[in-house]
Each structure stands twice: as structure tokens, then as C-alpha cells.
Amino acid sequence: MTRPWTIRYWLEQLAPHEYYNSTLDIDPAELAARGVRGLILDLDNTLAPWKHGVPTTELAEWIESVQQAGIRCHIVSNHVGRRVRLFSRSLGIKGTPNARKPAGRAFRAAMRLMGTVPRDTVVIGDQIFTDILGGRRQGCHTILVVPACSMDLGWTRLVRRIERAVFREMQVRGLVAAEPRRRDRR
């Protein structure tokens, strides 16, 4: 067991269980076969580029295939209000704005609403310090995706610089794959 005062311990706490190029590269049938019953999804730069107005047809089809696989979805976003409601309503799923991730309250509330527990819930997001840390702290399986675009709020741009350095160290130590997984979506 890694000791809690070591760098490796903290890197392990931040390391995603899986790493994908895009949310759309994640196979819903594969998740269902592993016993996943619920997905907690980040919005900005995970489901859609930051400030992108409405869900794409491709995203709506992916969400539909997730639901057809028997998996429930819930958006948990640090974004405030309107955008989260718009995406949730458009996709036919529930959403929680202003989640204050990595705090656990919104994650636990989403699992309660979906009727899931940490062992059958996956958290998907594009940020290590919010989505991945928040999901791991709750005991959920976590999937990091490459951000959908490079545009972000000023604060997020600063945090991403730190995340890139931490992520490179995780890769060097073999805690994360060198390249994100992709799947042929034809």
C-alpha cells in the first residue's frame, strides 16, 4: 500500500481509471456489460465544447444508446443554471448545476436520484481536480476524456496548466495510459 504522505499516493488519488479521446468513444454496451447502472457526466468540454449552445445530434444519439443499455445519466456541472437545464432538458436527463465539484454532495445526490451506488456508477469528465477527484472520493469508477475544445474560463485555463503537469507525471509513473482510447464510431 502506498503511504499517504508520498507523491505517488496523491497521484493515485487523482488518476482516472480510464482515459478516452471523447465521451462519444465510450461504448455504452461495454459499460453495461461491466455492471454500470449510472453515469455522472460533466457538461463543459466533456459533453460539449465550452459555451456550445445545444447538444449535437451525435451526443443525443449516444445518450439514447446509453439509456437503451439500461444505464441512467445525470449531468453534474460546476456551471451555473441555464446551460445545465438546457442540456438536461434537450437530452431527457436530469442535471445539477453549481455542483461545487470536487465536493461530494452533488455526486451523492445524483446517485440517489439514479438509484445507484458508487460501485455501479461511473463519473466522466475532462478535469482531474474536479471530476476525477470528486468521483474517486465517492468511490466511483472514473473516466477522463480529452477536453472537447481549448476554450475555458480564465481560472480553468490556469488549473489546466497544473493538471497537464500532474497528468504527465501520472503517465511517466504508469498510472494513466500514454494515449487516450478511441473507438471507430462509423
Q: pLDDT at residue 186 above 60?
A: no
For residue 88, give the C-alpha cell.
Answer: 438536461
Q: Which residue has better confidence, 178 or 26?
A: 26
Q: What's the average model confidence in pLDDT over 49-58?
A: 84
Sign (positive or negative) of CA dihedral 152, 156, 157, 163: negative
| Residue 91: pLDDT over 90 | yes
Residue 121 domain flag: yes
pTM comes to 0.92
Domain count, the chain: 1
Q: Does any domain span residue 177?
A: no
Assign 3-class secondary structure to the chain: CCCCCCHHHHHHHHCCCEEECCHHHCCHHHHHHCCCCEEEECCECCCECCCCCCCCHHHHHHHHHHHHCCCEEEEECCCCCHHHHHHHHHHCCEEECCCCCCCCHHHHHHHHHHCCCHHHEEEEECCHHHHHHHHHHCCCEEEEECCCCCCCCHHHHHHHHHHHHHHHHHHHCCCCCCCCECCCCC
Residue 1 pLDDT greater than 90, yes or no: no
In a domain, 178, yes or no: no
Whether 184 maps to a domain, the answer reads: no
Question: Does a structural domain hold residue 180?
Answer: no
Residues spanned by the domain of 30:
8-172
- In this structure, what C-alpha cell is assigned to residue 122? 461511473
Residue 1 domain flag: no
Dump pLDDT digits (tens) for 151-177.
666 667 778 789 999 999 999 999 999
Q: CATH number of the domain that 124 lies in?
A: 3.40.50.1000
In a domain, 3, yes or no: no
Mean pLDDT computed over every residue of the chain: 91
Q: Domain for residue 2, yes or no? A: no
Asked if pLDDT for residue 50 goes beyond 60, the answer is yes
Q: Band the pLDDT of 35: cuts 50, 70, 90.
A: very high
